[in-house]
Structure 1
Amino acid sequence: MSRFGIYFHWPFCRSKCPYCDFVSIIGKNIDFQAWRDAYLSVLESYALRTADKKVSSVFFGGGTPSLMPAEIVSEIISAVRRLWDTDENAEISLEANPGTLNHQKMSDFRKAGVNRLSLGIQSLNDNDLKFLGRLHNAETALNALQSAKNIFPEVSADFIYALPHQTFKDWETQLQRILDLNLSHLSLYQLTIEEGTFFYKKGIEPPEENLCADMFELTDKMTYLAGIERYEVSNHARKGHECRHNLLYWQGGEWLGIGPAAHGRFFENGRYLATVGENDPKRWLCSRKIAEDSLTLKETAQELILMALRTREGLLRERFKDMTSFEPENFLYEDTLLDYQTDGLIIADKKGLRATAKGLLILNSLCPTLLK
């Protein structure tokens, strides 16, 4: 039986970060009961269609899910276990911001069933945190991290680098501090300036490309030497501590997306369905509207290739053939693939396709020219 996950999107935040382009709003006068009822209602309707699947992971993302009452998180997790056959050791993750929860609330989330906390720390430098619009400082983040390590079996932390004012040495020094925290999972993202964000409107620009590339290579080297290797473009883990839910996205797994703008993918009656919730949180709460489409063979193949090439494992040939009945090369420009192999950007062999470290640096520009 294939792995199956459920993602819940909680759209509320205390403030809007200037780099964030996710669907999120500043939460005021939240009707928690109404949101609880909506999540459970959509969950029930999906259960009627997917009861044959076994849940291996649950993920509360946002927004800032640590603003949710632990009682609602508990009810949702209990409903998942009641409605589906669920792995005894299912990974249940919740994203949190350091300033939104204390030791007691962490304990409440743990009792609710959360066994993996992902902390959005973003930086250990107070000036960087102010630039990124974060409401916490480094001391608050480190205290939250220590509490989390004492309470949860699995803890991850997010950091952002390649900031406009950041030097190579700045990042090298901070990354060593991060590695000294001895975490089993890290998400290390280069700052991107997305259209529509505050940074975009202000004309903020990241460092020049060569510096960003040098920082990426440094990150790869230092994490490898620390035993917390990259397993996806921005994600690093000690062996056995990879985020199982996120691997569903990258390895062609199935998952439900519940909440505003939440995406899902699952098989039903031979069709591979793509779903997405109504974008506006208020409208989603009222309508619980979810758009649904069957992906064509070409769309399925392209998505599998795009997502799998982000990982160190790459695209496994047998997995791809199981899902499409074709070889990946059927959906790629042969001459372009050969050029990329010659240039040391892509490796293609009996096992499958994977990007080299050099290829990962420019993956976003490789894929559009590689896919038919």
Structure 2
Amino acid sequence: MKKIIEIKPAAGFTQAPVNTVAPLTGANTVSGLTNPPPLSLYIHIPWCVRKCPYCDFNSHESRFKNGEIPEAAYIDALIADLGAATPKVWGRKIRSIFFGGGTPSLFSPEAIDRILSNVRALTPLEYDAEITLEANPGTVDSAHFSGYRQAGVNRLSLGIQSFNADYLKALGRIHDDRQAIAAAELALETFERVNLDVMYALPRQTLEHALKDAKQAIALGPDHLSFYHLTLEPNTPFHRTPPSLPDDDTSSDMQVEIEHLLAAHDYEHYETSAFAKKGMQARHNLNYWQFGDYLGIGAGAHSKLSYHDKITRESRPKHPKAYMEQAILGNAIERVWDIERDELGFEFMMNALRLIEGVPASLFRQRTGLSLHTLDNAIRTARNKGLLTADQDRLQPTLLGQRFLNELLELFLE
């Protein structure tokens, strides 16, 4: 089975500055963005207890002399970063917030409360905004969960990865099978909405054991499950020294059988790696896949922001120390670039075609300002190859297109 391109949920038509210049009219200019896309906020917490050998996220082991990470200083930087960024999204409501990492659950409940209090003071939140925090089963207890809930977190995403002690050890995780189950049960008692992250195609994993993990996740009864195929990402220990992984046929069988098992228990497969009970899809992630806007703050965070004449991306310094120094000085943004007109089709499709039911065809113009006819050749080829269903109403990957998503997306690069 071919590896699927993974988007790492990191990161708008914004009110233009008072002294803005006239809209550009060059060949690469985007025009036709008349309404703002939904806006989300991503907050990156970069530290973890130990870096997992498969992880390519911007995370850093917490190796401080006193054993404590610099919560207060980092929050000061986050607040300064957000304050400097708010003019770009002035007046737009935030529909979701996501604390990612690293391991956000290394931060105290008081720290999360301070961050969210400042977010509320600086930006308008939708009344029922989804606020998700990622947590590691080895770093939490009932007091932490209760504190996060009181601070305003209403959805927890727990990095289980496996319920098998041997596979957890092979993955370099800091928790064991008992902690995984205990943390999941505690999360379900504390939060109304819970996601469990589980991986398959692990080192020396059998189909039987992969399905046993899936059955355990289902038995716990969360409203959302994410099942990720382990991939060997560049610049990771697993990539440099690959473990013994299941072959393509076995890992493909795992994927198919897990999907069937989840469907039999009323989990809707709505995105490449995501399954949810009815109405419980992750709103934050859906905004990514539907090419919405997101403001990313924190070390290494990325943003995508749409204006009336362009769509831009931003990145922050990856190293926490460099980020904190620059954010306090008002220079948190390391790089800004426009998405070129001829790149927008691929950028849109790379997100939208991860959704099992696709997106309305009209969404392409709404989110890019371009006519869908600019992709006629790629769409025609994708349909002829049996990878895409496309008409005037909807763009949707076929089952074959879902299985060979890379091949489908490559058509929009040409």
Shorter-normalised TM range: over 0.9
Match of 1:348 among 356, 381, 390: 390
Rounded to whole Å, the distance in 1 between the matches of 2:101 and 2:276 is 22
Partner residue of 2:16?
Answer: none
Rounded to whole Å, the distance in 1 between the matches of 2:118 and 2:344 is 30
Q: RMSD across aligned C-alpha pairs, in angstroms? A: 1.7
Corresponding position: 1:222 with 2:264: no
Rounded to whole Å, the distance in 2 between the matches of 1:133 and 1:63 is 14
Partner residue of 2:411?
Answer: 369
CA 1:363–1:134 in 2, change beyond 3 Å: closer, same or farther? same
Please give the TM-score of this superposition, normalised by the length of structure 1.
Answer: 0.95
Corresponding position: 1:80 with 2:122: no
Q: Secondary structure of 2:98's match?
A: strand
Match of 2:161 among 122, 125, 128: 122
Match of 2:325 among 264, 286, 297: 286
CA 1:38–1:325 in 2, change beyond 3 Å: closer, same or farther? closer
Q: Secondary structure of 1:180's match?
A: helix
Q: What amino acid is aligned across from residue 200 of structure 1 in structure 2?
A: H
Rounded to whole Å, the distance in 2 between the matches of 1:325 and 1:61 is 30
Query: Gaps (5+ residues) in structure 2?
Result: 1-35
- For residues 118-165 of structure 1, the C-alpha deviation after alignment (integer angstroms, 9 at most, x for no partner) is 000100111010001011111111111111111111111101101131
Partner residue of 1:18?
Answer: 53
Rounded to whole Å, the distance in 1 between the matches of 2:173 and 2:270 is 27
Partner residue of 2:350?
Answer: 306
Structure-to-structure mapping, 1:62-77, within 5 angstroms: 62-77=101-116
Q: What amino acid is aligned across from residue 118 of structure 1 in structure 2?
A: S
Rounded to whole Å, the distance in 2 between the matches of 1:354 and 1:196 is 33
Partner residue of 2:170?
Answer: 131
- How far off its partner does 1:269 sit? 4.8
Match of 1:184 among 223, 235, 252: 223
Q: Secondary structure of 2:131's match?
A: strand
- How far off its partner does 1:23 sit? 0.8
- How far off its partner does 1:298 sit? 2.2
Q: What amino acid is aligned across from residue 401 of structure 2 in structure 1?
A: G
Q: Secondary structure of 1:284's match?
A: helix
Rounded to whole Å, the distance in 2 between the matches of 1:247 and 1:90 is 13
Q: What amino acid is aligned across from residue 366 of structure 2 in structure 1?
A: D
Partner residue of 2:299?
Answer: 260
Rounded to whole Å, the distance in 2 between the matches of 1:221 and 1:327 is 37
Q: Secondary structure of 2:212's match?
A: helix
Rounded to whole Å, the distance in 2 between the matches of 1:239 and 1:38 is 38
Partner residue of 1:8?
Answer: 43
Q: Secondary structure of 1:53's match?
A: coil
Contact 2:98 2:284 (C-alpha < 8 Å) held by counterparts: yes
Q: What amino acid is aligned across from residue 58 of structure 2 in structure 1?
A: V
Aligned length: 370
Of stretches 153-162 and 347-356 in structure 1, the one that deviates more from structure 2 is 347-356
Partner residue of 2:90?
Answer: 51
Q: Secondary structure of 1:292's match?
A: strand
Say which structure, 1 or 2, has more relative contact order (CA 8 Å, 6+ apart): 2
Partner residue of 2:12?
Answer: none
Q: Secondary structure of 2:195's match?
A: strand
- For residues 42-92 of structure 1, the C-alpha deviation after alignment (integer angstroms, 9 at most, x for no partner) is 111111221221011111000000001211211111112122221111100
Of stretches 217-226 and 19-28 in structure 1, the one that deviates more from structure 2 is 217-226
Match of 2:213 among 155, 167, 174: 174
Q: What amino acid is aligned across from residue 164 of structure 1 in structure 2?
A: P
Rounded to whole Å, the distance in 1 between the matches of 2:246 and 2:121 is 49
Percent identity, aligned pairs only, is 36
Rounded to whole Å, the distance in 1 between the matches of 2:251 and 2:72 is 45
Could you say which structure has the higher helix fraction? 1
Contact 1:302 1:331 (C-alpha < 8 Å) held by counterparts: no
Rounded to whole Å, the distance in 1 between the matches of 2:62 and 2:123 is 31
Partner residue of 1:28?
Answer: 63
Match of 1:98 among 137, 145, 149: 137
Q: Secondary structure of 1:19's match?
A: coil
- How far off its partner does 1:297 sit? 2.0
Contact 2:292 2:367 (C-alpha < 8 Å) held by counterparts: no
Rounded to whole Å, the distance in 2 between the matches of 1:139 and 1:279 is 34
- How far off its partner does 1:356 sit? 2.0
- How far off its partner does 1:192 sit? 0.2
- How far off its partner does 1:20 sit? 0.2
- For residues 310-369 of structure 1, the C-alpha deviation after alignment (integer angstroms, 9 at most, x for no partner) is 1113132111112334343523534xx445434432211222222122221221233113
Rounded to whole Å, the distance in 2 between the matches of 1:122 and 1:332 is 40
Contact 1:156 1:186 (C-alpha < 8 Å) held by counterparts: yes
- How far off its partner does 1:106 sit? 0.6
Q: What amino acid is aligned across from residue 166 of structure 1 in structure 2?
A: Q
- How far off its partner does 1:22 sit? 0.5
Partner residue of 2:197?
Answer: 158
Contact 2:346 2:409 (C-alpha < 8 Å) held by counterparts: no
Rounded to whole Å, the distance in 1 between the matches of 2:299 and 2:124 is 26
- For residues 200-257 of structure 1, the C-alpha deviation after alignment (integer angstroms, 9 at most, x for no partner) is 1112253222222222221221111111111110011112111111111110111101
CA 1:244–1:117 in 2, change beyond 3 Å: closer, same or farther? same
- For residues 2-43 of structure 1, the C-alpha deviation after alignment (integer angstroms, 9 at most, x for no partner) is 421110111100001010011111113322211010000011
Rounded to whole Å, the distance in 2 between the matches of 1:17 and 1:81 is 33
Structure-to-structure mapping, 1:325-336, within 5 angstroms: 325-331=369-375, 333-334=377-378
Q: What amino acid is aligned across from residue 411 of structure 2 in structure 1?
A: T
Rounded to whole Å, the distance in 1 between the matches of 2:215 and 2:147 is 32
Match of 1:197 among 225, 236, 245: 236
